[in-house]
Structure 1
């Protein structure tokens, strides 16, 4: 049975985690989005709603309504610094990646443009 286990080396450990996302849940109250991120979420929300509710009038969906759809589950991805905004609908999860340059933690220094 000892042949089943291989010693863990630093190379193995590093190699296995290079592409693995490291997610940290973050509260939506702590997040500020740029205008571009808000546009991304608005576009993504329309696409999700068209997919799960084809008869829905997505043209009248406001940006604030779109953002409100995706505030239930937010994650900071440690490797990229990006934000992942998720919603559970129709027994599926839909997630939108937001690049690190388009969001920040509220109260932190530096503008989000």
Structure 2
């Protein structure tokens, strides 16, 4: 996250949780979103497109396309268990917070964590 987004996120996080966030980078291939998590990303991606890509058809953006827009940088927040998904648009980093109940670490076919 850029310093401006980090500062805003930290202030918001501090107010909500009373502690400074501890972020850990995580690979997008290790993340599984719930249906609601993917819907939240789609709503966020549509808002980003509306603001930064006004010529694009954001109304018909699929959930898969929306998620693909936000796989540049992902972070797991240690205290809340939430996921932060980021993309770079118009010389800015835009990050979406995904609550812990709407994502998990992907499991392999044997059911073990990767």
TM class, shorter-length? 0.7 to 0.9
Corresponding position of 2:29: 29
Per the alignment, residue 88 of structure 2 pairs with: 88
SS at match of 2:21: coil
**Once superposed, which parts of structure 1, at least 4 consecutive aligned residues long, lie more than 6 Å away?**
none
Unaligned runs of 5+ in 2: 1-17
| Structure 1, 56-65 or 79-88: larger mean CA deviation | 56-65
- Aligned-residue CA RMSD (Å): 1.3
Cα distance in 1 for partners of 2:46, 2:76 equals: 23
Partner SS, residue 54 of structure 1: coil
Residue range with higher mean Cα deviation, 100-109 or 55-64: 100-109
Higher-Rg structure is 1
Aligned length: 92
1:6 alignment counterpart: none
Task: Tell whether 2:101 aligns with 1:101.
Answer: yes
Q: String of CA shifts for 1:9-51, please: whole Å, max 9, x gaps.
A: xxxxxxxxx5211000000000000000000000000000000
Which consecutive unaligned segments of at least 5 residues does structure 1 have?
1-17
